[in-house]
Structure 1
Amino acid sequence: MHEQMWPLWLTLALALVYFVKQWCWPSAATRQHDQLRSDWLQSVSATPGTEVLGVQTIRNSLMSCTMTATAATLAFMGSISLLYSSWAQTVSLGNKSAFLQHVLAVLVLLGMAFITSMLSARQWHHAGFVAGMPVGSAQRQQWLPLGQQCLRKAGHYYALSVRLLMWCVPVAVVGLFAWPGVIAAVLMLVVLWRGIDR
């Protein structure tokens, strides 16, 4: 393997370990937020007159994941521009492959961030219909379990999209400064495991 590629592969391996762990064994924060969203929908479903509040709350969350998708899209377009810019043309022939692989790694992360944001928006959308049904109606009671499931999925996808965007930073840094990028990836793991995921 090319000597310059070790820092990139090591950084991507750290990211993969984190995401596999998060997918198979969700963090305490993820499980707690699942319960919070489920309890919230249960609560507004038992309180008459909260239909507008429920839809508004879900709309705010929908806007958040739309902003994440927008950020990922803009960064994706910028990365594509970088591939075809004069900077890419000035990279020496020996480093051309390494440069392209670094940019490709960032593009994959950004693409996945966009997709998970859109999957989150889809789930928020479904949950919004349940939250907007009249409290006490038979239909709301019928669809309440599905609404709670949609809220759980929406939260998982949104958390994943935010973390994918965060991982773009060490992957981009490793393309500019190899081993400092790996250190940034290790620090990212510490921040996630000891902070955000708790």
Structure 2
Amino acid sequence: MNSTIPWLSLFLSLAILGAYELNLSRLSRRQPLATARSAHALLRVEWVQALSRQAGSEIVAVQALRNSLMSATITASTAALALMGTLTVTSTTVAQDMALFGLQQLSTRLVLELLLLTTLFASYVCSATAMRYFSHGSFIMSLPVGSEERQRRTSMAIDYVRRAGILYSWGLRLFLFLAPIVAGLVNPLAMPFAAIALALVLRAFDRAPAGVPPLG
């Protein structure tokens, strides 16, 4: 196989996914309810606001945040286990190719292995940070509704729950980004096709849910 073809496949795959994410980000800014990501972010904000007006909702709020916290915990644990397993399998070849940080051979396989490790680590960090925000948000939402302390920190709870939701979604999304990487490790020519297939799957996931009310 021509040595340039794997590199072209890698760059094309990155361009496909990068263009998709850029277009999705622009659409979310122009039309806040046109994507599931922005619609779900608005839902989390309205959830905090609604429960902050309902006396006696503290236990319900904490239970809901606890469920989200456990989901983020599962994602973080899975990413950590996958990262350790991948390190066990690839550490020897990566060290040899990099020659203990004095790079001797740069190949697409080395780049893909590093991307695999980086993506898993990023997924872990996103999920672990989401756990942190969910945890702090539960402290605020457990404060008695109507208390001065709760009213002072409602905006903080909104921000924390919003951030936690975004980070949790990115933790899951990074798992999906592993598909083209794994396909490239099997056969570099499969990367662009896997990237296109992933973009189509993400398009279905990122479609705004039905019944979202208009803003205003």
In the superposition, the TM-score normalised over structure 2's length comes to 0.80
Say whether residues 1:106 and 2:116 are aligned partners: yes
More off after superposition, 13-22 vs 152-161: 13-22
Q: 1:13 aligns with which of 12, 15, 18?
A: 15
Query: As a proportion of its length, which structure holds more helix?
Result: 1
Query: Which residue is 1:157 aligned to?
Result: 167
The separation in 2 between residues aligned to 1:138 and 1:77, in whole angstroms, is 46
% identical aligned pairs: 31
Query: Which residue is 2:46 aligned to?
Result: 39
Alignment of 1:1-198 (within 5 A): 2-22=4-24, 26=28, 28-84=35-91, 97-193=107-203, 195-198=204-207
Say how many residue pairs are matched: 191
Q: CA deviation at 1:25?
A: 5.1
Q: Secondary structure at the match of 1:136?
A: coil
The separation in 1 between residues aligned to 2:180 and 2:107, in whole angstroms, is 19
The separation in 2 between residues aligned to 1:21 and 1:114, in whole angstroms, is 25
Q: Secondary structure at the match of 1:113?
A: helix
- Cα 1:108–1:188 change in 2 (3 A) is same
Q: CA deviation at 1:179?
A: 2.3
The separation in 2 between residues aligned to 1:112 and 1:97, in whole angstroms, is 22
Runs (5+) with no aligned partner, structure 1: 90-94
Is contact 2:129-2:167 (8 Å) kept?
yes
Is contact 2:179-2:198 (8 Å) kept?
no
Q: CA deviation at 1:188?
A: 0.8
More off after superposition, 77-86 vs 154-163: 77-86
Q: Secondary structure at the match of 1:40?
A: helix
Q: CA deviation at 1:48?
A: 1.6
The separation in 2 between residues aligned to 1:23 and 1:72, in whole angstroms, is 25
Query: Which residue is 2:101 aligned to?
Result: none
Q: Secondary structure at the match of 1:48?
A: coil
Runs (5+) with no aligned partner, structure 2: 29-33, 97-104, 208-216
The separation in 2 between residues aligned to 1:78 and 1:17, in whole angstroms, is 31
The separation in 2 between residues aligned to 1:40 and 1:83, in whole angstroms, is 44
